[in-house]
Structure 1
């Protein structure tokens, strides 16, 4: 999931360099969503592993 967030961020940066503002904004939005989904899943996984070991 984090890999896809980074890929969309790179796409957004390349699109911004070449002047495609709409594509860059869309790619940044997708990257933000994927990053926050990754963070939530990582925290849930961490908490689940602590509960199982407890």
Structure 2
């Protein structure tokens, strides 16, 4: 998987990745964090952060 594919995956799956960060187990969260760490798209990471913020509000 090249960087463009990785950025596209994160961009297209930001809601799912955010839900895994919010509700997943340690291993699942680690995979998401690894994806984000290797993603060049700052916008993609920011989108995941926004989604995560909304999910936290839903769960509160």
TM-score computed with the length of structure 1 as normaliser? 0.44
Greater helix share, structure number = 1
| Larger of the two Rg values belongs to structure | 1
TM-score computed with the length of structure 2 as normaliser? 0.41
